[in-house]
Chain A
Amino acid sequence: NAGVTQTPKFQVLKTGQSMTLQCAQDMNHEYMSWYRQDPGMGLRLIHYSVGAGITDQGEVPNGYNVSRSTTEDFPLRLLSAAPSQTSVYFCASSRRDTQYFGPGTRLTVL
């Protein structure tokens, strides 16, 4: 099993550009989540999903969109990137208790 995979590993955007961060899991987990990690802070929840077709907002959802058309994939879309979205983004998946994290995407918005 590959576990949770994220692409790309690194990305540089200009203010106003859009992009999609990809996340996939091969463990048939119902739950998937997106977090962002900023220096000196823990992970903050952006959006999460409890199954295909069902998503909900987390603590810091503004500026991000998600959808979940399959169990395996949970992409995160930045509609119009802003410097405040410079961060490391982690995707996670879980069945009932333990979340498994991907390696992260380091995003810089200039």
Chain B
Amino acid sequence: AQSVTQLDSQVPVFEEAPVELRCNYSSSVSVYLFWYVQYPNQGLQLLLKYLSGSTLVKGINGFEAEFNKSQTSFHLRKPSVHISDTAEYFCAVRGNTNAGKSTFGDGTTLTVKP
């Protein structure tokens, strides 16, 4: 069994400020970790993923995340946000053997203010 906790339901931030969206997970097996972004009335778009190797993962739109196995965390960061980053962000985890069975967090709403 696996679970995901996104620690902040809403994160307001001013434009050009840094942001961190926090994600903790639990699993009894080795995992793959993902961050997705969802813009209003759209589907999910992959931001980045951790499968193995380097624990610092870079994704699209200037986002990066760091896998911390000892703290079972996978926090998403961006050094300088834009208005266009306003969206819902989801952290997801799945075991490394079943590509069809992901568990998602409840989401974090990032609101970037001018």
Chain A positions near chain B (C-beta within 8 angstroms): 30-33, 35, 40-45, 48-50, 58-59, 90, 92, 94-104
Structural contact, A48 and B101, CB atoms closer than 8 A? yes
Which residues of chain A come closer than 8 Å to B34, judged between CB atoms? Answer: 98-99
Shortest A54–chain B CB gap in Å is 10
B98 is an interface residue with CB less than 8 A from chain A: yes
For the complex, give the distance between the alpha carbons of A42 and B104 in Å.
6
Q: Which B residues between 47 and 64 are near A, CB-CB below 8 angstroms?
A: 49, 51
Which residues of chain A come closer than 8 Å to B98, judged between CB atoms? Answer: 31, 48, 50
Given contacts A33-B101, A97-B32, contact A40 B106 (CB under 8 A): yes
A-B contact count (CB 8 A): 68
Structural contact, B49 and A98, CB atoms closer than 8 A? yes
Chain B positions near chain A (C-beta within 8 angstroms): 4, 6, 9, 32, 34, 36, 42-46, 49, 51, 90, 92, 98-107
Given contacts A42-B90, A90-B43, A103-B43, contact A97 B99 (CB under 8 A): yes
CB nearest to A55 among chain B residues: B100
Q: Which of B42, B49, B90 contacts A43 (CB 8 A)?
A: B90
Structural contact, A104 and B43, CB atoms closer than 8 A? yes
Structural contact, B90 and A94, CB atoms closer than 8 A? no
For the complex, give the distance between the alpha carbons of A54 and B48 in Å.
29
Structural contact, A50 and B100, CB atoms closer than 8 A? yes
CB nearest to A33 among chain B residues: B100
For the complex, give the distance between the alpha carbons of A101 and B49 in Å.
15
For the complex, give the distance between the alpha carbons of A59 and B4 in Å.
14
Q: A99-B102, A103-B43 are in contact. List 7 more A-B contacts (CB 8 A).
A: A59-B103, A90-B43, A96-B99, A97-B49, A97-B99, A101-B43, A104-B42
